[in-house]
Structure 1
Amino acid sequence: MVRNEARRAALLDAAIDVLAEEGARGLTYRAIDAKAEVPAGTASNYFASREDLMSEVMTRVFQRLQPSDATVAERLALPRDKALSVQFMHDIIKRADADKACYLAMMELRLEATRRPDLRTAITKTVAEGLDFNVSFNEESGLPGDRTTVVLMYLAMTGLIYERLTLPEVLADEDLDQLVEDLVNRAIGPV
């Protein structure tokens, strides 16, 4: 049976919204069908199992959070220095703020993966590939820092975004721009 890729994407987007609003326990085929406004049974025709669905949702999250090619090209026209690394980190926060559902869904999937070994394997693969891509991008683009620098920035930015999404009051008195600049400066160190 030929699958409608636009409908598959709409179902995955609906699943992201369900995860963000209801958590992993609320992620059912019925809830996805309702959110996507498609006939009952549609989601189950596209995703053979809950693990398959969750794994594909994680991939879709990464797709939605990717910067546009135009944005990357615009940034890479700038000098390849710490200031550009800071700009890339600000771009990550802007995308997170613009699509909070993706980060909330990712958090839910990570928590669910602690209880489901097959899901953990699939999500680990997706996240590890994303991190490897970022390390390669940093090296190939001539940005400052090595693999450890990128890993440190990844961990710090993940924590910062999760804090902003879940308990924003904790950092309410912090200057976000300065925090991001300090994070990059300390991760990269003197150049």
Structure 2
Amino acid sequence: MNPDRRDRLRDAAVEVLAAEGGRGLTHRAVDAAAEVPPGTAKNYFPSRDALLGAVAERCVEQYRALADQLAAAGPPSGRAGLHALLAGLLENVAGPGRSRLLACLELQAEAARKPWLSEVIDPMAAADFTMLEGAQRAAGLPVTPERAAMVTLAMHAALPHLLARGGRTLAAAGLDDPARYVRTVLETVYPSHSDETMT
């Protein structure tokens, strides 16, 4: 099978899942989004589970590409550098990362009923904990595994609200200003007035 067409179908499937949700992810919808002849998606991904698996694999690939970009940019410098990194990740939710993250949320809902799918997407969230703990250490904060996990969980918790764009919820959570939200999280977990020494 043509690998370029396969990637085109997988990219289209990510967009369909993000736009239409789980019920809207059909072979016909993917064919239309990819602008290929009817039946093409079914030839590449014969069942709905195969289609879901293809979306999950593509989302993992996109996540790894983003992680590689962040790694290439180098570790954050100090608290200000970490703040800029985390705020940038949240701002990405409204930009180029929106479709992937919406698709990931849909995949998580599907994975609650399909354990095999959880095995495919779990490495993304797990890698976040490792990556963001490393960023906190590189910034010179007094990191413990528990503190690092709290920051990562706060970032994860923000995503569904930023994607839903509910104004009152965003205001209540402080997410109407993602940069301020990140500043609050870091100040709560790592108080700048703490007696602990930052290395």
Q: Any residues of structure 2 matched to 1:2-151 within 5 Å, and which?
A: 3-65=1-63, 66-67=65-66, 72-76=71-75, 79=77, 81-98=78-95, 99-128=97-126, 130-131=127-128, 133-134=130-131, 137-138=134-135, 141=138, 144=141, 145-151=143-149
Tell me the amino acid that sits aligned with residue 66 of structure 2: P
Match of 1:154 among 152, 155, 163: 152
Deviates further, 92-101 or 58-67? 58-67
SS across alignment from 2:93: helix
Q: Deviations over 1:163-182 (max 9, x none)?
A: 11114311247433211111
AA of the residue aligned to 2:84? Q
For the residues of structure 2 that align with 1:108 and 1:134, how far apart are their CA atoms?
A: 23
Equivalent pairs counted in the alignment come to 186
Contact 1:33 1:43 in 2 (8 A): yes
Structure 1 gap ranges (5+): none
TM-score (norm 1): 0.80
Deviation at 1:89, TM superposition (A): 0.7
Please state whether the residue corresponding to 2:104 is helix, strand or coil.
Answer: helix
Is this contact kept in 2: 1:85–1:143, CA < 8 A?
no
Aligned partners of 2:145, 2:52: CA distance in 1, in Å? 29
Identity %: 31
Q: Secondary structure at the match of 1:38?
A: coil
Root mean square deviation, CA, Å:
2.8
Alignment CA distance shift 1:137-1:38 (3 Å): farther
Deviation of the 1:185 alpha carbon = 2.8
TM-score (norm 2): 0.77
Deviation of 1:114 (Å)? 1.2
Alpha-carbon contact 2:82-2:139 (below 8 Å) kept = no
Contact 2:60–2:121, Cα closer than 8 Å, also in 1: no
Residues 96 and 161 in structure 1, CA contact (< 8 A), matched pair in contact too: yes
Residue-by-residue CA offset, 1:8-56 (whole Å, 9 max, x unaligned): 2221111111111211011111111111111122222322443333233
Q: Is the 8 A contact 2:87 2:178 kept in 1?
A: no
Are the structure 2 counterparts of residues 186 and 172 from structure 1 closer, same or farther at C-alpha, using a change threshold of 3 Å? Answer: closer
Could you tell me whether the CA contact under 8 Å between 1:139 and 1:146 is conserved in 2? no
